[in-house]
Structure formats: structure tokens, C-alpha cells
């Protein structure tokens, strides 16, 4: 790889790493919970890119699917549940689907 190519890759690595750090900070510091979760999902996707750059394709697949996708879905469902009415005794039997 020539010097210009590796410099470009170095810049890309720096940008991805900066994006991950900035998104992580945003995810934990945002006032709005929903926005924080969205930033967390974006951070997961950037981490999938980082796994690709680190020669870890298995991790990239797993991070995109489980780390960003499924964890994100779980967090969004929790944000939704927390915004809704409380069920102090858990769901009653008559509310079963």
C-alpha cells in the first residue's frame, strides 16, 4: 500500500474513532432518552465499521445485528414502556394476548 493510501486509511480510522467517541458521549448525555438511544444505535453501527477495519468480520456481523440492532430495539421498546402507563402488578391475566 502506498503512502497516500495508508494516510487516507489513517484519516478514516481517526474519523470513525472520533465518531464513536462523540456518539458515546451524546448517547449518555442527551436530555431526551429517545435521542440518546438513537445515538447509541448509530454508535453500534460505527463500531461495526471499526470491526471491519480491525480485521474482525465476524464481530462486524454480530455487532451490526445484535449490538446495534437488537440492543437498540430492546432500548427503544424500554423507552416506549417507560413513557406508557405503569402496571404495578405486572400484566394481569386478562390482558394476555
Q: Contact positions toward other proteins, by CB under 8 A?
A: 9-10, 13-14, 16-18, 20-21, 24-25, 27-29, 31, 33, 36-37, 40, 43-44, 47, 50-51, 53-63, 65-67, 69-71, 73-75, 77-82, 84, 86-91, 93-97
Neighbours of 47 (CB within 10 A): 21
Report, in Å, the least distance between residue 73 CB and other proteins. 5
Which three three-digit cell numbers place residue 79?
A: 423507552
Report, in Å, the least distance between residue 65 CB and other proteins. 3
Task: Name 90's Cβ contacts closer than 8 Å, sequence gap at least 6.
Answer: none
Cell 465476524: give the residue: 58
Amino acid at each position: 500500500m502506498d503512502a497516500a493510501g495508508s494516510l487516507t486509511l489513517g484519516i478514516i480510522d481517526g474519523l470513525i474513532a472520533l465518531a464513536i467517541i462523540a456518539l458515546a458521549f451524546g448517547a449518555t448525555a442527551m436530555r431526551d432518552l429517545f435521542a440518546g438511544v438513537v445515538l447509541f444505535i448509530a454508535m453500534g453501527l460505527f463500531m461495526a465499521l471499526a470491526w471491519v477495519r480491525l480485521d474482525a468480520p465476524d464481530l462486524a456481523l454480530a455487532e451490526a445485528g445484535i449490538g446495534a440492532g437488537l440492543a437498540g430495539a430492546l432500548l427503544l421498546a424500554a423507552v416506549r414502556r417507560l413513557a406508557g402507563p405503569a402496571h404495578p402488578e405486572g400484566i394481569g391475566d386478562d390482558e394476555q394476548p
